[in-house]
Chains A and B, each alone.
Chain A
Amino acid sequence: MSPAPNDPDLIQILLVEDSETDVDLLREVMEDSRIHNHLSVVRDGVEAMAYLRRQGQYADAPRPDLVLLDLNMPRKDGREVLDEMKSDPDLLHIPVTVLTSSRAEQDIAKAYARHANCYVKKPLGLDEFSEIVRAVEGFWFSVVKLPPKG
């Protein structure tokens, strides 16, 4: 049985991603993780902001410990999500890892200027994807002290 999504000991991850393939890959990798985690998935920036602000169907959404954010998405893209999160006093302390296939220097610099906490390039194969996610996990959930819940 999967753990209750609001268990306070769970690491809550919010994945903001519109590609089914990447969502499936990440789900698969996180299911095998040693980290006791709960992955929530939203498909674009509009849903991401509703989730973070607990609006509508997300009224009971847990506060994420880490956001994995794609840049290119329909309706509202990752850049707009970063701008909104990092200027909202209730959300600005939540670490955001940009996870994108773009390696354009402009995207990298702009993401950091918008206060993304780090920028990671999506690899293509499953093995590489898994390695990258493990490394993200190793840094954010083993080394770093995350902001307290609440």
Chain B
Amino acid sequence: MPDPQSSREPIDVLLAEDAETEIDLVRTIMANRDGRCRLTVVRDGDEMMAYLRRQGAHRSAVRPDLILLDLDLPKTDWRDVLQQVKGDSELCVIPVIALSASEDERDVIDAYSRHANGFVLKARQADAFADSIRTMARFWTSVAILPPK
């Protein structure tokens, strides 16, 4: 499909994920978006919030255009993290896509009710998961209009 907005600036994606295989997979897919995605990885909710608030080691962090949030991070209550992002007057505009291995319908409703912008199931097969990430990356880099920096 031709990209209607191929002239766009690259987008900064923040991936909050602790599983190495999934990080590698997302990294590979983002690298194949012709330099249109720059990926940063954080490993838990505290690090994610420190990154977004440019605290400590993240003083020069770039504000991401899109956040991919794994709902099963160590030491992290995803509801709390989502609340912190969506309840912050500056951060709330950043689209957050929840990534979850659980099909629990309560999590789905809860994530949307806490203003997650989308909920993507992590397919057990790597190929299917890769397809989802690829379609999502294409959608957010070339179809959806992201909030201005």
B148 touching A144 by the CB < 8 A rule?
no
Interface residues of B, CB < 8 Å — how many?
35
Which residues does chain B contribute within 8 Å of A113, judged by CB atoms? 89, 92-93
One of A135, A144, A145, A148 near B143 (C-beta < 8 A): A135
Given A117-B117, A139-B118, A144-B118, are A128 and B4 also a contact pair (CB < 8 Å)?
yes
Chain B residues whose CB sits within 8 angstroms of the CB of A118 once the complex forms: 95, 117-118, 140, 144
Chain A: interface residue total (CB-CB under 8 A): 35
Flag whether B57 is at the interface (Cβ < 8 A): no
Distance A140 CA – B94 CA, assembled complex (angstroms): 18
- B4-A109 in contact (CB<8A): no
Contact status of A121 and B86, CB under 8 A, knowing A112-B95, A131-B4, A147-B108: no
- Tell me, in angstroms, the Cα distance from A94 to B1 when the chains sit together: 28
B92: min CB distance to chain A, Å: 6
B-contact 0/1 string along A59-87, CB 8 Å cutoff: 00000000000000000000000000010
Closest 7 A/B residue pairs (Cβ): A93-B112, A112-B93, A139-B139, A135-B143, A105-B148, A118-B144, A148-B105
Chain A residues engaging chain B, CB cutoff 8 angstroms:
86, 89, 92-95, 103, 105, 108-109, 112-113, 115, 117-121, 123, 128, 131-132, 134-136, 138-140, 142-148
Residues of chain B with a CB closer than 8 A to A132's CB: 4, 143
Dominant SS at the B interface?
A: mixed
Asked if B56 is at the interface (CB within 8 A of a chain A CB), the reply is no
**Contacting pair A139 B145 (CB below 8 A):** no
Does B135 sit at the interface, judged by CB under 8 A? yes
A149 vs B145: C-alpha distance when bound (angstroms): 28
Which of B109, B138, B147 is most buried by chain A, counting CB atoms within 10 A of its CB? B147
A113-B93, A135-B138 known; A93+B120 contact, CB < 8 A: no
State in angstroms the CA–CA spacing of A123 and B94 once bound together: 23
